Chains A and B, each alone.
Chain A
Amino acid sequence: MKIGILALQGAFLEHEHMLQRLETDYFEIRQKKDLEQQMDGFIIPGGESTVMGKLLKELDMFEILRDRILSGLPVFGTCAGLILLAKEVEDNPTYFGSMNIRVKRNAYGRQLGSFYTQQDFAGIGVIPMSFIRAPYIAEAYEGVQILAWADGKIVAARQGNQLVTAFHPEVNEDVRVHQYFLDMISR
C-alpha cells in the first residue's frame, strides 16, 4: 500500500512521521508529475486551505485529484484538508466539494481560541485532539457518519472512502486515527 501526501504547504512531514511509525509507504505530492505514481490513499494535511487550494489549481493537479476522489480514491483530510473536501464552507470558497458536509472555517476564532482536548472517536476510544484555528462541521448531510464530537460540535466524520477531522491527529503521538484510515483502505 502506498499513500500520497499533499506536500504543497502545512504539516505534511507530521503525517509522514505517522505513516513511518505505521510502517506504511508514502510519497510527497508537490506537482503534477508526482500523480503518475500508484496511489492507494491520499492525505491532505493541516495548513492553510487558501494556499493549498490555490496551488492545486495553478499546478494543474486540482481536476485530476477531484476526479479520483469522486471515483472513490480513499482520502483523509485534517483541518485544512477537511475544508478542501467539504461541499459547503460558510462565507468561503469550496474546493473538491466531495464530502456532504457544511463547514465553518476558523470556527473558534484566532489563535487564542485554539485548544486541546481528549474526546471519544467512534470505534477507537478516547484520543488527543489539538484544534489549531480549527474549523468544525456545522452540518453533516446524508450519507455522512459522525465519528467524533467536541464541545457540542462535530469534529470528525466519514463518508464512504473519505475521512475528515477538524483537529490534527498528525501533531500528537497517537497513531490510531491514521491506523483507522489505513484500515479503511484495506477493507
Chain B
Amino acid sequence: MEENRYELNKQLAQMLKGGVIMDVTTPEQAKIAEEAGACAVMALERIPADIRAAGGVSRMSDPKMIKGIQQAVSIPVMAKCRIGHFMEARILEAIEIDYIDESEVLSPADDIYHINKHDFKVPFVCGARDLGEALRRIGEGASMIRTKGEPGTGDVVQAVRHMRAMNAEIRRIQNLRADELFEAAKQLQVPAELVQYVHEHGKPPVVNFAAGGVATPADAALMMHLGAEGVFVGSGIFKSGNPEKRAAAIVKAVANYNDAGMLAELSADLGEAMVGINEQEIRLLMAERGK
C-alpha cells in the first residue's frame, strides 16, 4: 500500500508536467493564477523577493491563509516548509496540502538533516543544484525535484547552471560501464539503485521542474529547452507590472517553447518585468541551504 502511495505521489507530478506552478499570497492572486492557466499554485505569505527584502527568519505560512487559497481554486495547492522541519510538514499534511515544498527559500530548521519524506503520505518536492542533491532528496522520499535557482532575484542564471549541471552528470552516468556505477554512487553520495536508474533511463526517477529566477516567457522557454519538465514562477509574476498577462504568456510559452514566432508575440507588451537583482549583488544565497 505504501509503495502505491509513493507511486501515486510521483504520478501527481507527472500530471503537472508541461505546466506552470505559480507563487501566490492571497486567494485573489490564486484565482488570477488559475485563470491564467497555472497547473498548481504555491501558497505562501511572502514571495521570495519580499522574503529577501524583509530579512529575518522565514517560516511556514499560516494554515488559515493556506486554507483560504485551497478554497479559492480547484487546481492543486502546494505550500513550503523549512528544510528539516518535519513538524511544519505534519501540519501541512494535516490540512491536506497537495504537495509540500521542503524549501531553501525559508530559513532552514535543521542544518544537517532533511525530512525523512518516506514517513509521510503527502508528496514532497525539493530543490537541487546538481544530480547528487536531486538523488539524495529522492532517496529521502521526494517524489518531485526542481532546480534551486536563486529565488526572488528574477535572475535565471542559477536555474540554468543547476539544470545544465544535472544534465551533464546524467550524460556522464549514462556513459559509464555498469561496474563503474558503484563508484559514481559513492562520489555522488547517493544510493546505487538511483544511479543505476539514471544509467538506464537517462533521467531521474521523478519529474524535474525548473525554479528560481524565471521572470519572462523567454526564461520559461529556455528552461524547457534545457530539459525542465515544467516551471515554477515565484516572484516573477506578482512582482511584475501586469501579472495576469505575464502569467498567461508564461503558460503559453511553456506549452509552445519550440515556436520562436509565438514566443515573440507572447513576449510583446507585457509591461514591466520584476526588477531583477544580479547574483553578485545579493548577500544571501538561498541555493546554498540544504545539500
Asked if B251 is an interface residue, CB under 8 A from chain A, the answer is yes
Hey, which chain B residues are within 8 Å of A14, CB to CB?
14
Whether A8 contacts B74 by the Cβ 8 Å rule is no
State A99–B141 Cα separation when bound (angstroms).
40
Is A9 in the interface zone, CB < 8 Å from B? yes
Determine if B101 is an interface residue (Cβ-Cβ < 8 Å). Answer: no
Asked whether any CB of chain B lies closer than 8 Å to the CB of A39, the reply is: no
Nearest CB of A to B121, in Å: 6
The 3 residue pairs across chains A and B that have the minimum distance between CB atoms: A116-B4, A111-B98, A9-B18
Q: Are B39 and A168 interface neighbours, CB within 8 A?
A: no
Tell me if A106 counts as interface (CB < 8 A to partner B): yes
Q: Does B259 contact A (CB under 8 A)?
A: yes
A79 close to B96 (CB less than 8 A): no
Cross-chain pair count, CB within 8 angstroms: 116
Please measure, in the bound complex, the distance between the C-alpha atom of A113 and the C-alpha atom of B4, giving whole angstroms.
12
B255 close to chain A: CB less than 8 A:
yes
Q: Is A31 part of the contact surface with B, judged by Cβ < 8 Å?
A: yes
Given contacts A14-B14, A112-B122, 14 further A-B contacts (CB under 8 A): A7-B18, A9-B39, A9-B255, A10-B15, A31-B256, A48-B15, A50-B74, A54-B37, A55-B251, A92-B74, A111-B8, A111-B9, A111-B122, A114-B11
Of A13, A31, A132, chain B has the most CB atoms within 10 Å of the CB of A132
| Residue B34, interface by CB 8 Å | yes
Asked if A58 is at the interface of the complex by the 8 Å CB criterion, the answer is yes
B38 at the interface (CB under 8 A from A): yes
Which residues, 174 to 206 on B, are CB-close (under 8 Å) to A? none
Nearest CB of B to A107, in Å: 12
Cβ–Cβ contact A133 & B76, under 8 A = yes
Query: Once the chains bind, are A130 and B37 in contact (CB under 8 Å)?
Result: no
**What residues of B have a CB within 8 angstroms of the CB of A109 in the complex?**
96
Cα A128 to Cα B271 in complex, Å, equals 48
